Amino acid sequence: MNVLILTNHLADLCGSEIQVLELYNYFKNRNHNVKIYVNIMDYPIIKYFDKNDLLTDVEQINLEIIDLVWSQHCLFASLFQNRIYKELHIKLISVHLSPYEMLELCSVPYMKLLKCVFVANSLETKDKLISLGVNNDNILVSGNCAPSEYLNNLPKKKSLHNILVVSNHVPQEIMEAINILSEKYQISVIGGKKPVLVNPELINKYDMIITIGKTVQYGLLSGVPVYCYDHFGGPGFLNHENFEVARYHNFSGRGFDKKTAKQITIEIEKEFDLASKFFNEYSDKNHFLLENFMDKIINQKDKCLINQEVQQTLLPYIAMEQKISELYILIRKLGKQASYFSLEVETTTKELQTTTNTLKQKEKDIEIFSTELKIVTEKITLSEEKIINEKNEKQRLYKKYRKYRKFLKILSLILILFIFSTILLLGT
């Protein structure tokens, strides 16, 4: 089968890109011929694809040989900008990964006309599609499914030692909770500036995960307890009471309040055992298997008939799709610039902190030196005083000596005169 996957961007290790990678591997492992048309591609994620399967020019695409199109991010109309085909029979899948992101929804009007199959990643997204006029019976819910390689039904150990945090936008309260918990547990944080491709081996190294979105399904299939929380807030550990509401919102954290770092810390320590029990006993894992969901897609028999008249109706949407693509390129460019400046600020801040620490150390060294210098000065002063005192004492003794010497001279003279007088008297 010839498969074409359409996606606006393929660059980061994030939601829609990870879904494309998992679909790509699914089709490749079954010996299907799969190509990906993308507006923007970049590292790190493209290193996981065969570059010959990545297309950036619509001229490289011939829809006449395509059996299935998986369309994300409003790109399908753009395939007809330079070519009108005689007649196409394609299994067309319109994929929607968010209930509020317009990049996911702006193709809905023409996809309804094409009578394609709609895929929603959650019941929340499905309800949004229904509100836009899509027939309920024409929507499949993927549950943000994950590959079966994550499936592990063996009971997990129930002691907490290692915690994994997976997030591209770690909220402040989680950072504060990490600082508290790291005194007792080993904690690893990936995502954002530390992108890592999650895999089953990584997940199974940890006793629990703090995350939202796709990584929740990895935890569910692996039997690793998930504390569902991020920048939207979240329910905390998934359990019988909150699971369906969290599932409705695609385990995004929406639908729940935010928590303080203290609340998060207490819940993790007190509720881990109950969470382990829930994940070990959870039995509806088949719902979250990519292979099971894709079997439904492959088994869809209806194909879209896209004749020349229908193709003409798509042409007005091309300008809109191109404008959205240009806007996203600009947003990404600004985002990269912001990241660059943020990195520069971070680097400068670190250098400033290092300089500050160096100056503080030098201040301490100067203070120690000053203290030592003061002690030496005091010793010198004492020595000088001693020398002066000794000199004064010497002078005093010398004066006293001169005084006694003079006295002795007089006394000696008197004694000599006395002796001389006595001799004279005796002589007479």
pLDDT in tens, the chain (428 residues): 999 999 999 998 888 999 999 999 999 999 999 999 999 899 999 999 999 999 999 999 999 999 999 999 889 999 999 999 999 999 999 999 999 877 778 899 999 999 999 999 999 999 999 999 999 999 999 999 999 999 998 887 779 999 999 998 899 999 999 999 999 999 999 988 778 999 999 999 999 999 999 999 999 999 999 999 999 999 999 999 999 999 999 999 999 999 999 999 999 999 999 999 999 999 899 999 999 999 999 988 889 999 999 999 999 999 988 888 888 778 777 766 665 555 565 666 677 777 778 878 888 888 887 888 788 788 887 877 888 888 888 888 878 877 888 888 888 888 888 888 888 887 76
Total residue length of the chain? 428
**Is the pTM here over 0.85, yes or no?**
no
Q: Which residues contact 125 (CB under 8 A, 6 or more apart)?
A: 96, 97, 98, 99, 104, 250
Contact 214, 18 (CB under 8 A): yes
Domain with 75, as residue range(s), is 2-143+289-314
DSSP assignments along 47-99, one per residue? GGS-GGGEE--GGG--GGG-SEEEE-SS-TGGGGSS---SEEEEEEEEEE--S
Inside any domain, residue 31: yes
Contact 92, 114 (CB under 8 A): yes
Q: Which residues contact 115 (CB under 8 A, 6 or more apart)?
A: 138, 302, 304
Inside any domain, residue 405: no
Inside any domain, residue 386: no
Same domain, yes or no, for 171 and 121?
no
Give the C-alpha separation, 192 to 200, whole Å.
Answer: 20
Same domain, yes or no, for 161 and 281?
yes
Inside any domain, residue 109: yes
Give the C-alpha separation, 423 to 428, whole Å.
Answer: 9
Same domain, yes or no, for 102 and 182?
no
Give the C-alpha separation, 75 to 79, whole Å.
Answer: 7
Burial code (b: 16+ CB inside 10 Å, e: under 16) for 376-407 equals eeeeeeeeeeeeeeeeeeeeeeeeeeeeeeee
Q: For the domain that residue 265 is a member of, what is the CATH number?
A: 3.40.50
Overall domain count for the chain: 2
Same domain, yes or no, for 246 and 265?
yes
Same domain, yes or no, for 112 and 39?
yes
Q: Which residues contact 369 (CB under 8 A, 6 or more apart)?
A: none
